[in-house]
Amino acid sequence: MILCGSVDGEEAPVTPNQVREDGVRVLLKRQQKDGGWGNPSYELQERTAITALAGMALLAADPNGTLNSAPIVQGVEFILKTLGRRVHAPPRGEGDVHDYRAFGHAYALQLFETLLHKKPVQGLPVEEMRRAMKGMGRQLVEWEKPGGGWNYCSTNQHAAFMTAPVLQGLLAAKRNGLAVPREVVARGLRALRGSKVATGSYMYYGPAAPGDTPQSWYSLAGSSGRAAVSEATLWLFGESSQEELKATVEAFFTHWEILCEKKDRSAQHEGPHGISFYFFSFGQYGAAQAIAQLEDGALRARSRERLWKLLGRIRNPDGTWSELGATDENRHNYSIDYSTALILLALAEDDPTLARKR
C-alpha cells in the first residue's frame, strides 16, 4: 500500500510529462481485444463508462495530437456495440438494483462530443456516433428520477455524484444538436443544488433536509469525493459562485487524506465518513474540474500544483493509479483502468473533454 502522506508533503518523485507518458503507455497496453477497457468480467455498463474515460484520458494526455488513432476508434466501436446490447429499461421499486448505464452514457457523450467537435481522429464512424448521442440523450431523459436528477440504484432519489456527470453529458449532447428538454436540466440542477448542506457538503443521495447536521455521509469529509464535481457542474450552468467553488476546492484539500486513506479499504461506506474506495479517483477528477473553473489565475495555478504533488506521490511503481490496494494483484487490476484514466484526466494541463461554462 502506498502511503497517502500530507497535503503539503514532499515533492512528487516524477515530472508531469513522465506521468502522462507512462499513463498513456499503460492504458494502451491494457486495452482489451474487444476494443474496450476494464476487466472483461465486468458488467458491460461498467466497461462502457471505463472505456469512455480511458478514451477521454488518452485525448487529454496527448495535447499535440500525436497519438495513434486506432485505439480511440476501437474504443468508440466497443462503446457503440455495448450500447446496442442494453435496451431494457432499468427496474424500479424492486429492491436495490444497480444500473450503471447512465454513468456510461454521461461519459460516452462527453467523449463523442470531443471527438466530433474538438479533437477528431481518422477512421471514426461519425454518423453512427451522432445517432448514438441522440439515443443516449433520449434515454437519460427517460431515466430521470422523480423530482429530477439520476441515480445508479432503484431508489427514487437522485445521487449528486451521478446527477453531476449526467448533466455534463447532456450539455455535450445539446452541443451536438440534441434538443434536451429545459425542464429536465432545470430539475436536475434544482436536485443537485438541493443536495447541498449549509456546511458545503453534499448528501450521498436525496435532498438536504432542514436541520441536517454535518455528520456521517453528509459531513464535509464524507462528501469530498462528490462535492467538487457537483459544485463545478452547478458553476457550468450558472448556478454557483466563485466563492462557493473556492470553498469547495479548499475543503477537498483539507479532507484529502481521509479520502485517500479509504481508497485501499474494500469495505464500503464504513466508518464515520461513509466513504467508499471508488470515490477516491472520481473525486480527484471532480476537484480538477472545480479548479479549472477558478477565475483567480494564481489560485488556480497553486491548486493545480497541490493536486499534482498529491497524485504524483501516490502513483504505483508501474505508472498507474489504483484503488483497493496495489499490493493485492487482483484488487489492483480491478481498478487500474478506471483510476488511471480519471487521474490522468485530473492531471491534464488542457483537458479537451472538460466542460466550460455556458
CA distance linking residue 338 with residue 38, whole number of Å: 7
pLDDT given at position 354: 60
Q: Which region among 162-166, 255-259, 270-274, 280-284 has the lowest average model confidence (pLDDT)?
A: 270-274
pLDDT given at position 88: 41
Q: Indicate the pLDDT class of residue 345, thresholds 50, 70 and 90.
A: very high
Q: If you average pLDDT over every residue of the chain, what do you get?
A: 84
For 131-157, how does the pLDDT look when each residue is reduced to its tens digit (9 = 90+)? 999 999 999 999 999 999 999 876 788
For 253-275, how does the pLDDT look when each residue is reduced to its tens digit (9 = 90+)? 998 888 887 776 666 666 666 67
pLDDT given at position 224: 82
Residue 293, pLDDT > 60, answer yes
Around Cβ 25, how many Cβ atoms within 10 Å? 12
What residues contact residue 113 under an 8 Å CB cut-off, 6+ apart? 133, 172, 173, 175, 176
pLDDT given at position 171: 93
CA distance linking residue 257 with residue 271, whole number of Å: 15
Q: Roughly what angle, to the nearest 10 degrees, separates helices 329-347 and 44-60?
A: 40
Q: How far is CA 70 from each of CA 100, 195, 207, 250, rounded to the nearest angstrom?
A: 27, 41, 44, 40
Q: Indicate the pLDDT class of residue 162, thresholds 50, 70 and 90.
A: very high
333 burial (CB, 10 Å; 0-12 / 13-18 / 19+) is middle
Question: What's the whole-number mean pLDDT along residues 324-342?
Answer: 71
| Structural domain boundaries in the chain | 16-347
The C-alpha cell at 171 is 450539455
Q: Which region among 5-19, 183-197, 202-216 has the lowest average model confidence (pLDDT)?
A: 5-19
Question: What's the whole-number mean pLDDT along residues 274-285?
Answer: 83
pLDDT given at position 260: 82
Q: Indicate the pLDDT class of residue 93, thresholds 50, 70 and 90.
A: very low
Question: What's the whole-number mean pLDDT along residues 44-70?
Answer: 89
Around Cβ 114, how many Cβ atoms within 10 Å? 20
What residues contact residue 247 under an 8 Å CB cut-off, 6+ apart? 200
CA distance linking residue 350 with residue 338, whole number of Å: 20
CA distance linking residue 86 with residue 170, whole number of Å: 19
Q: Indicate the pLDDT class of residue 276, thresholds 50, 70 and 90.
A: confident
Integer Rg of the chain from CA: 19
Residue 45 — φ and ψ, nearest 5°? Answer: -65, -30
pLDDT given at position 90: 46
Residue 355, pLDDT > 90, answer no
- State pTM to two decimals: 0.90
Helix/strand number for the chain, H first, E second: 13, 0
pLDDT > 70: percent of the chain: 80
196: β partners:
202
pLDDT given at position 140: 94
Q: Which amino acid is at 99?
A: D
Domain spanning 16-347: CATH 3.30.70.20: no
Q: Which amino acid is at 106?
A: A
Question: What's the whole-number mean pLDDT along residues 234-259?
Answer: 94
CB burial readout 276-314, b (16+ within 10 A) else e = bbbbbbbbbbbbbbbbbbbeeeebeeebbebbbbbbbbb
Question: What's the whole-number mean pLDDT along residues 225-245?
Answer: 95
